[in-house]
Structures are given as C-alpha cells and as structure tokens.
Amino acid sequence: MSAEAPPRDLKHKLLALPNTLGEYLHSIPNDHPLQIALRTYALSISLSLGPALVPFLTSERARRSGLTRLGKILGRELGVTGFAFAMTAGVGGGAVLRDVFDLLAEQGSPGTDEGDSICGPARAKAVGWLASLKESHRTFLANVLSAAMAMTLFHCRRPPPASAKASIAIPFTPPLSPSSSSKPTPFAGRPSITLDLTLLLLVRAMDALAQVTIQKGCEVIEKNDSVHGKEAAMRRRRLLSMRLDALVFWASSARIMWCFFYQPERLPRSYNKWIMTVANIDPRILAAMRALRSGTWSYRRHHSVQPDLLSSLSQDLGYPAAWGDITRLPARGGPDATAVWKELGVKGRDGIGGTPCELVHANASGGSCSKNTALRGTQAFASAMAIYLPVHFLPILLTRPRTLLRPSKLMQTLLAVLRSASFLSTFVSCIWAAVCLTRTVLLARLFPRISHDVWDGPFGCTFAGSLVCGGSIWIEQGRRRGEMALYVLPRAIRACLPERWVRSGAQGVQWGERLAFVLSLSTILTAAIHRPDSLRGLSRWTLAFIMKGPNAGFWRRKRRGESVPPTPVETTPAVDTQPRPYTL
C-alpha cells in the first residue's frame, strides 16, 4: 500500500495542476506582466496560426506533403522566432521592464540606505537618472528595449527559400509588399521580412502622436475660452480629426489607384485582383493605358507594338475591329476627327479624338457616359452589400443577437450597411465619371487640339479619376473614416518607396527600418498606458484587451451590458469595435 501512495499523490497533483494555475492567474491583477504576456501570446497565435494553416488546408500540394508540411508550419509559428513569441517578447517584455524600472525608481533612489544596498555606489548615478525620469518616459524606455528584442527575434528567423514569401504575415491583412508570385523584378535583393509590419506600426504611431497634438491644441483653446472652452475644444478636435482623416484617405487612395493603373507591381497581387473585380475593367484597356505611358502606344504616331490590342476588344464587344485600330483612331479633335468617326460609323464623338467610349466602357452602356457611370455605381453597390452585410451583422449575431430584436438597433445596423455600400459605390462611380468628363464630355471638347496621348495618358483621365475618388470618404461615418485612412496609408507609403532602395539590402535601409519598428511599437505601447485616448479603432480595441484584460472599458460593457466605474479607457470617445471591411 505504501508503494502505491506516491503514484496516487502524483496523479492527484497532476490533475489538480490546471485548477491551481487557474486560481493563481485569477489571483493576480489583469495588468500584471504575466497576464499581459499570456493575452498577447493567445491573441497573436490565434491570428497567425490560422492564416498559416490556410495554404495547408486549401493547397493540394500542401496536403500531399501531409504531416511534414504541418510540422514545418507549427514549428515556424510556435518557435521562438515566430510572430506570436516575438510579439509577446515585445509587449510582455515591456511590461516586465516597466515594473522593474518603477521598482528601482521607488526603492533604489540614490541617497537612501535601500538604494545604496540595491545599486551600490557605482550604479547610484544610473539609478538616480532612472528615478528622475517621468513615469511615461520610463515606460517608453522599457518598451524600446523590449521592442528591440522583438525585432531581433524576427530577424533571427531562418531566411525563406527564393520561391517563398519573404515577409512576416500580418494576420487578416493583405500584404503590403508585392507578392512573390508576381512578375520578376530586376532587383536581386528582397524587402525586409518585417517591412509590412513596420509600416503598419509606423502609421498607428503617427496617428497616436497626431491625436495627442490635436488634443493639446484643443486644451489651449479650452483654457483661453472660459465660457465655451470645453464645448468649443471638443468640436474643434472632432473637426480637425475628421479633416485629417479625409485628407489622409484622399492622398492614399489617389496614390494606390494610380499605381493600380500604371504600376501594379507596387501593389500586392491580391490587392490588384480585388480592385480589378470591383472596378470591372477589361485588362486590354489597362494594357493600352500602360503602353501609352511607356510610349509603345501613341495616337500621334499611330503606332503600337500590339496593334490588335483594342481591335480584339472591339470584336469581342460586337463592334467593328477598325474601332480599335490605332492606325485609324484620330489623335486630336476637330473636323478631321469628325470625318474619321463618320467613316468608321462611330456616333456621339464628333469633334474629339481617342478611343471610342464604347470600348472604354466595355459594358451594356454603349457610348453613354452617364449610363456607364450609373451602371458601374450600381454594380459596385451590389458587391458592397454582399461584403458589408455579414461584416456588420455577424458580430452582433455571434455576441448579442437579442439586440437585433429592437427595431432601433436593426435600423441602425441597416443604415450603417447602406452607408458603407454607398461609399464604395460612390468611390467607383467617381473614377468613371472623372474619366469620361476628362476624355469625352468636357475637357477634351474644350481643348480639342490637345492630343489624346495626354487625355488618355498617365496625367489625363485616370489621374483625374484617382484624384476625385477619395472624396467619397465623407459619406462614411466619422469613426470609420479614421480607421479606413489608417488602413490605406501603409499601402500608399509602400507604393511610394523606390523598389531598388527597398531591395538593396543596404545597412542604412536595414537600420532605418529597424529603428522605425522599435520607435513605433514603443510609442503605441506607451500610449496604451498613459494616453489611451490617443489610440483609435483596432489599435485601441486590441491594446485595451491586452493591457487591461476583458473587463477593461468598452470590453466589459459589450460583454455584460452593465455600467462600470469610469476608467481612463472609458473616459475617451466611444470606439467602434465592429470589424471593418477595407475597401481599396
């Protein structure tokens, strides 16, 4: 009997171990570094492991490799250099160092017996300097060190083969860097594996700093105006924030759409495919536009290296092949162009040159520009409804379905869906309207002597369409404008970076990108502790859960529907916690 007792005791202890760990975790506060690290790892691994397993589940080649391939995926994502562990080191490590620095600042100050015993005379100066720092500065320093450790772990990752994707996968986010399966580039090097993540963090950090600047400016207004100070400051803050969001979205969308037309290699392949689906443009039209930019297509010289490019499109649409013949299309407007159109049988284009609208529209609208714009907007609206309906309703159905029984909540959600769909529809319609106004309806008629090498070129109709489409952001809700601007800005920045510079592998490029990563992550984590009101959207939603736990601020209200005492997170403007479909 005595020989059997130890195994029973061991078995009992092993069975009780989960309960013991659970009781211990419940006994420590939600902002304890251990709790922060566990939440960071759980969230990171759930976001990174799922997308990593998608190719294994969907690719026949991956399934044939079986357990070997699965083992490689798990080993990569669960390893020390994986996304989850590196992010846990960056976030959880900062929490640990912050507590250590605070402890040294409180108990290890120079001049005290306790401080001398901890630091010793040689370290008293360093500890004194640490104690002289503000609490926010100590937090930032701790996050800098932990972020540097996370960056080191990322770059200790084994380089992927030349055929593999050479970047850290950002969970549930299309890559910023061009896909490795796109056409080969003339550059030998590859972008940094953390470039996509760095740009995302950089944009969020810049937004946090911008929000702090706006808040401080509004506080000055509030102090100067003792009567209407607070109300005026809040109104001005909202106005500045909305205008800044709209400006960022407009500039970013203009750059992205211009790259879609003329430099698609600067955008991810999946991104190009999505825009192509929504815009519904015939690839031959895009090929002709890019050839016009490169000089291999010219109205003035009546030359093209692909003379049947638009002729084949014309035949496919049921029109004569001569309508797409570059040797017969008029380069400029005027009586000569009218004579050519009469000979070819093209109606409604008297006095202007270029390609007939029937080919550019490539749909049932024929040559009617207004009908084409309306048709494109209607198609985009239908596609947007299919996207936004599940995005708006599924989170409610999964978390609080009873709220949909209230007519007010149901109508509010439906209006949000219609508003988002109208935004995307207007975005697409604005591009087509600007194209037609430039090359057919207005500018080309006002200035008929200007060649259509200009009107159909990179700084003509497509440039006008890229400039005006971003104005549709004003249709969206104010809270969503900011999040959408923060979504498209990293892609616009990536599209502006010279590919030769990014792929050069120079020391300046590497250290510049690493410095941006460290400072950006440190800024965001510090703002989550000391200025949570400067964070917006997904960054605030995620960091509130990581830093404070599921009972922090709006998390607790959303889960229980109960009122909670005010906290620093709750005193800030409301946050839209619904997932957003990103549109560009």
> What are the DSSP calls for 136-194, one per residue?
HHHHHHHHHHHHHHHHHHHHTSPPPPTTS--SPPPTTS--SSPPTTSPPPS-SS---TT
DSSP state of 298: E
DSSP state of 404: G
- Alpha-carbon gap, residue 232 to 126, rounded angstroms: 45
| Cross-strand partners of 116 | none
Q: Which residue has 């250590």 as its token pair?
A: 100
- Alpha-carbon gap, residue 448 to 294, rounded angstroms: 23
- Angle between helix 507-530 and 135-155 (nearest 10): 140
**If we measure between CA atoms, which residue out of 129, 100, 136, 37 comes closest to residue 523?**
136
Please give the single-letter amino acid code of residue 477.
Answer: Q
Cβ neighbour number for residue 212 with a 10 Å cutoff: 15
Distances from the Cα of 377 to the Cαs of 382, 433, 439, 481, in angstroms? 9, 10, 19, 20
How far the first Cα of the chain sits from its last, in Å, is: 72
- Alpha-carbon gap, residue 101 to 137, rounded angstroms: 10
Length in residues, the chain: 584
Asked if 172 contacts 51 with a C-beta cutoff of 8 angstroms, the reply is yes
Q: Which residues contact 120 (CB under 8 A, 6 or more apart)?
A: none
- Alpha-carbon gap, residue 125 to 473, rounded angstroms: 54
Cβ neighbour number for residue 333 with a 10 Å cutoff: 24
The first and second tokens of residue 44, run together, are: 């990171």
- Alpha-carbon gap, residue 472 to 574, rounded angstroms: 24
Asked if 567 contacts 553 with a C-beta cutoff of 8 angstroms, the reply is yes
Distances from the Cα of 509 to the Cαs of 83, 140, 152, 495, in angstroms? 22, 24, 16, 16
**If we measure between CA atoms, which residue out of 244, 221, 220 comes closest to residue 232?**
221
Q: Which residues contact 231 (CB under 8 A, 6 or more apart)?
A: none
**If we measure between CA atoms, which residue out of 204, 78, 91 comes closest to residue 151?**
91
Query: What is 28-64 written as a DSSP string?
Result: S-TTSHHHHHHHHHHHHHHHHHHHHHHHHHH-HHHHH
DSSP state of 531: -
**If we measure between CA atoms, which residue out of 491, 459, 453, 469 comes closest to residue 582?**
491
| Cross-strand partners of 84 | none
Please give the single-letter amino acid code of residue 178.
Answer: P
Measured CA angle at 553 (ends 547, 558), to 5 deg: 115
3-state secondary structure of 304: strand
**pLDDT for position 564:** 41
Cβ neighbour number for residue 21 with a 10 Å cutoff: 10
Break the chain into its structural domains and give their ranges: 29-172, 273-485
Asked if 379 contacts 280 with a C-beta cutoff of 8 angstroms, the reply is yes
Asked if 522 contacts 285 with a C-beta cutoff of 8 angstroms, the reply is no
pLDDT along the chain (584 residues), means of 10: 55 65 76 92 88 71 69 84 93 94 75 52 75 91 96 80 51 54 51 90 95 85 67 81 94 96 90 88 94 95 92 94 95 95 94 95 89 95 91 83 88 93 96 96 95 95 96 91 92 92 87 95 96 90 88 49 40 38 35
DSSP state of 573: P
**pLDDT for position 216:** 85
The first and second tokens of residue 558, run together, are: 């959303």
Q: Which residue has 């149901």 as its token pair?
A: 410
DSSP state of 303: E
Asked if 569 contacts 544 with a C-beta cutoff of 8 angstroms, the reply is yes
The first and second tokens of residue 91, run together, are: 């976030």
Handedness of CA 531, 533, 538, 541 (dihedral sign): positive
The dihedrals phi and psi of 268, each to the nearest 5 degrees, come to: -60, 150
The dihedrals phi and psi of 183, each to the nearest 5 degrees, come to: -65, 145
Asked if 163 contacts 180 with a C-beta cutoff of 8 angstroms, the reply is yes
**pLDDT for position 77:** 85
The first and second tokens of residue 4, run together, are: 């059997």
